[in-house]
Amino acid sequence: MQIPKDLIKEAEKKLQSVKNKSEFYNLRSHYLGKKSFVQNAFKELKNLDGKEKIKIAKSLNHLRAKLTDFFESVDLKVLTTKEEPYIDVTLPVNSNIGKKHPISVVMDLILDYFHNLNYSSYFGNEIESDYYNFEALNFPQNHPARQMHDTFYLNKSLNDRCLLRTHTSNTQIHMMLNKSAPIYMLSPGRVYRCDHDMTHLPMFTQVEGLAVDQNISFSDLKGTIIGFIDYFFNQSVDVRFRPSYFPFTEPSAEVDIRFGKKGWLEILGCGMVHPNVLRNCNIDARKYRGFAFGVGVERLAMLYYGVEDIREFYASNSEFLNQI
């Protein structure tokens, strides 16, 4: 086996035409990578007899060491171009760079308010069965939310359908089945729906609240919601409750606020927990009552920061995020 004597000189000559780090790494791979002469030569040693194998192996090890020393001695700063700025990863971290994402800020505001009221947070499954996402929540079989154009299904089996949850109410079902009343809980997390425009996303963040106890009334629900809205906007806000329909609450309402020149804006849905939902979770609906509410974090963030397009929060636009 012939070992080239001028391999180092050849590498030095080719290095003179290298312009950036990418080309440097390609050159190093050519001489030391898996397909290089050195590596292929080591593979061929098995075909040699004992004495020659020892001699060639010693020469190859010497050549590989010299090539390695040569490439490690190259100053990469010299290869840096304007298009490819040099980054010294050994420098200390600048702790002033980086802030909380606006969605995280708004999420913390919501959770802080209800944690002070002794609500506990629980994070459930994002991949869920049809039972916990729909059936236990009193959704009829023909409800539009069950259709393919509204929900991301992960399989086609009607008997055991798995899906990406469309709300965090699934966590409330798990909690009611595993914990006895009274229950005061929040279920924050990501949810998924087939929707995408300036005010809707296929993936967004939601916080739902649930209270199950004796002698709970709609007045308790209204007081809780109004108190939260005043806290969130740091002022007294005009609020109205409009009758609505949700399968899992009865009566149900949508909550609007008067927001400057925009007039009335809907910000969340709520209602008294439907007795069927309580019974599905083995809770005595004659003894206990409950209320529930759900709010989209991105929707509140749009109002909090004055953002018109919800997609801006996830566009990875540093200029937008720095403004906020």
Predicted pLDDT of residue 321: 80
Please answer whether residues 9 and 69 qualify as being in contact, where contact means their C-beta atoms are separated by less than 8 angstroms: no
Binning pLDDT at 50, 70 and 90, where does residue 143 land? confident
Pull the structure tokens for residue 302.
């749009």
294 exposure class (CB count in 10 Å sphere: 0-12, 13-18, 19+): buried
Percent of the chain whose predicted confidence (pLDDT) is above 90: 50
Give the amino acid at 111: L
Strands 264-273 and 289-296 turn out to be antiparallel
Q: What is the distance, to the nearest Å, from the Cα of residue 244 to the centroid of all Cα atoms in its chain?
A: 31
pLDDT digits 0-9 by tens, 59-101? 888 888 888 888 888 877 666 554 556 677 787 776 666 678 9
pTM of the model: 0.66
Predicted pLDDT of residue 1: 64
Distance, CA of 230 to CA of 209 (rounded, Å):
17
pLDDT digits 0-9 by tens, 235-289? 999 999 999 999 999 999 999 999 888 899 999 999 999 999 999 999 999 999 9
DSSP state of 119: -
DSSP state of 145: G
Average pLDDT across the chain, whole number: 87
pLDDT digits 0-9 by tens, 11-40? 888 888 887 778 888 888 888 888 888 888
Distance, CA of 246 to CA of 234 (rounded, Å):
29
Predicted pLDDT of residue 85: 62
Predicted pLDDT of residue 157: 60
Which of helix, strand or coil describes residue 67?
A: helix
Percent of the chain whose predicted confidence (pLDDT) is above 70: 90
Predicted pLDDT of residue 249: 95
